[in-house]
Amino acid sequence: MSRSVLVIGAGISGLISAIRARKLGNDVTVAFSGKGATSLSLGVVDVLGYVDRRAVRDPLKGIEELIKKKPRHVYSLVGVDNIKKSINFFKELTKEVELEYVGDLRKNIYIATQFGTIKPTCLALKEVYDARVDTWDGKKVSISGSIVRDYHPKFISDSLSFFLPKFGIDVRFVDENYADIVLRPLSQKKEESCVIPLLGDGEILRKKLFKYAQKIGVEFIKDTIKKGKIKGNEVKEVYGRKSYEADVYILASGDWIGGGLNAFKEPIFNLDMIKSNGKLVRKIPFPESGHKYSKIGVKVNESLNPFINGNEIVNLKVAGSIIGNYDYCTEKSGFGVCISTAYLAASL
């Protein structure tokens, strides 16, 4: 039976949930106020890079271990089967929007970043996947291109020269005319070069998903939703410049970066939150164990329904980084959580 669905937010979680709900035959509207944090990202899909500070080679195996250790983690709520389905859905969807994402849930790859560091990820554009650092051993590599948007080729090469030996990778950085592998930013890619992702490349994915959603009949309304009306255990309507009613609501408004959280509260419905005790921020910027504030977010059940004063809100689903009890920074699980929760939230 077709239902009306209102999605709040147009980042990766909002767009995927809108597309999924529309493909299931529902009438879908997205209310959004901006691009969200997706447009600031590298555009790669981190599913799970670390469990308890230990590197994960096989994300699926790592998720199964994580579920045993942390039964309230968002991946524990979503479940392995839905995670598999969501990643397959995403890969098929990106083919439809003419973006080729490569990779699978059984293997993490390591890629170089614009900061001269090496990070694990699971899925990436083919041009990024082909530049994974395990293919560099014994090769001559060139980090090339013009300085743009905090992209400094020499700084990256110098920094990688420090980190790569720790991964057992022997590389010689040379001019691109003498290189076996040449890396450039996506905006400066040449036919034979691979790609080093930059912050902001996620905007390419967001634009493609946005246009595809419009193509299949999702309606978009530029409006900042500020309040919701709750009666009993249901949302009756939400308010921005105008009021909007739907059978089902999906909250995918992001965390602090996307504007979905404000002063450790969820501002639209005042939903129950998962909170942390003690000092929320540590003195060092990137502690291995993370900052406690990173796990703050909305409390949900296995169906991704939230609560108000302990009472389940039955026609409201929550998706993406606004959900609590996980830390995408230290786990390297950002887009994985966004995609899997969006998929489940839209499976009405």
pLDDT along the chain (348 residues), means of 10: 94 98 98 91 96 94 96 96 98 95 96 95 96 95 90 96 95 95 93 91 97 98 97 97 98 90 91 78 62 84 97 98 92 96 95
Distances from the Cα of 145 to the Cα of 93, 94, 152, 174, angstroms: 31, 27, 9, 13
* CA–CA separation, 121 and 16 (whole Å): 20
Note the pLDDT of residue 291.
Answer: 66
* CA–CA separation, 285 and 293 (whole Å): 13
* CA–CA separation, 100 and 155 (whole Å): 29
Same structural domain, 128 and 271: no
Same structural domain, 153 and 212: no
Q: Considering 148, 169, 195, which residue would you say is the last residue of a domain?
A: 195
Question: Residue 223: which domain range?
Answer: 4-101+202-345
Contact present, 345 and 82 (Cβ < 8 Å): no
Ramachandran class of 76: left when φ > 0, alpha when ψ lies in -120 to 50, beta otherwise: alpha
For 143-178, give one letter per residue: b (16+ CB within 10 A) or e: bbbeeeeebebeebbebbeeebeeeebebebeebee
Same structural domain, 155 and 294: no
The secondary structure of residue 2, as a DSSP letter, is: -
Domain tally, the chain: 2
| CATH code for position 210 | 3.50.50.60
Note the pLDDT of residue 257.
Answer: 83
What tokens does 174 get?
Answer: 């040379």
Backbone angles phi, psi at 89, to 5 degrees: -60, -45
Same structural domain, 124 and 66: no
What tokens does 129 get?
Answer: 């996947």
Same structural domain, 97 and 120: no
For the CA atoms of the chain, what is the radius of gyration?
21
Note the pLDDT of residue 262.
Answer: 86
Same structural domain, 86 and 59: yes
For the entire predicted model, the pTM comes to: 0.95
Number of C-beta neighbours around residue 71 at 10 A: 9
Note the pLDDT of residue 288.
Answer: 62
Same structural domain, 232 and 319: yes
Q: Are strands 307-308 and 311-312 parallel, antiparallel or unpaired?
A: antiparallel
